[in-house]
Amino acid sequence: MRRQGCGLVFYFFTKRRKGREDVPKSRNEKSIKAEELYRQGWKLVDIAEKLGIPSGTVRRWKSNYKWDGQSERSDKSKANVRKRGGQPNNKNATGPPGNTHAVKHGLFSKYLPQSVLDIVGELEEKQPIDILWENITLTYANLLHAQRILFVEDKADGNVYVTSEGEGGTGYEHQTAWDKQGRAFAALARIQSELRQMIKTYDELTRSSLVTEEQRLRIDSIKAKLGNDSVNRTESALDEYFDKLEDNINGAE
């Protein structure tokens, strides 16, 4: 009889407890206020500070009442899933159509103007031997132009330049004819050395089986312009040319 009474008490106790669990709990007023602040853009830490409650409580409310439409745990599980292959909005995953200069030169595009980037794009389509030939012709043109600028008429061909002006007076620099001629020879020697080396390199590149006949004929053309078609070695042709140039300048004195 005693055991039966204990069983009845336990039955009514568990049934009463189960009935309480079936009844939904009414939400805390602070949790409702916290959700309103969250939807207004407040951070969880700021909400906890305003309502005077622990921040962990606010996080639990956010998860239990699904302020974002799903639980926080579900958000984390989905965030940890990494799709295979190219990720969304990843421009490196696919090849961009059309002009790819900005992609190839991403670092340059941050610092160089668009006009320079366009030139870089054009140079990509050229072969190294063609770029070298353009440098040869440009250097040769500067050499011819320098002969006009660096010309010394006679021994009296001097110049006076103002180098500085101030309270202490005016500074001058006097250049005699031999000063001008010495600087002219130094400048021509530098151009000669650069041109000789570039033509020598170009001559070596033309021996490759990959170059065209037009590229091979260019070296003969530059030798002819330098005034010696019979010389096979490029350095000898340039040396003879500059020897003639020096004789002409000395004869003009």
- Residues found in the chain: 253
| 86 falls within a domain | no
Average of per-residue pLDDT across 219-226: 69
Q: What pTM, to 2 d.p., does this model score? A: 0.37
CB burial of residue 37 (10 Å; 0-12, 13-18, 19+):
middle
Residue carrying structure tokens 């390199």: 201
Domain co-membership, 166 together with 62? no
101 found inside a domain: no
Mean pLDDT of 18-44: 76
Regarding whether 75 and 132 lie in a shared domain, the answer is: no
Are residue 73 and residue 162 in the same domain, yes or no?
no
pLDDT band of residue 72 (cuts 50, 70, 90) is very low
Token output for 215? 């590229």
Residue 144, domain member (yes or no):
yes
Whether residue 16 contacts residue 8, with contact meaning beta carbons closer than 8 Å, is answered with: no
- Give the structural domain span for 34: 2-79
Whether residue 135 is contained in a domain is answered as yes
Same domain, 132 and 241: yes
Q: Are residues 158 and 223 in the same domain?
A: yes
Query: Is residue 57 within 8 Å of 47, Cβ to Cβ?
Result: no
Mean pLDDT, range 128-146, rounded to an integer: 85
| 120 inside domain | no
The total of structural domains in the chain comes to 2
Residues 65 and 137 in one domain: no
Residues 60 and 135 placed together within one structural domain of the fold = no
Q: Assign 2 a pLDDT band (cuts: 50, 70, 90).
A: very low
- The CA distance from 243 to 188, in Å, is 12
CA distance 50 to 28: 16
Q: Which structure tokens are listed for 67?
A: 């302020």
* Residue 103 pLDDT: 46
d(CA 218, CA 197): 16
pLDDT per position as a tens digit, 99-114: 454 445 566 677 788 8
Phi, psi (5° rounding) for residue 162?
Answer: -85, 120
Evaluate whether 174 touches 158 at the Cβ level (below 8 Å): yes
244, 227 Cβ separation under 8 angstroms = yes
Is pLDDT above 80 for 225?
Answer: no
Cα–Cα distance, 138 to 129 (Å, whole number): 14
Is residue 84 a part of any domain in this protein?
no
Asked if residue 47 belongs to a domain, the reply is yes
The answer as to whether 212 is a domain residue is yes
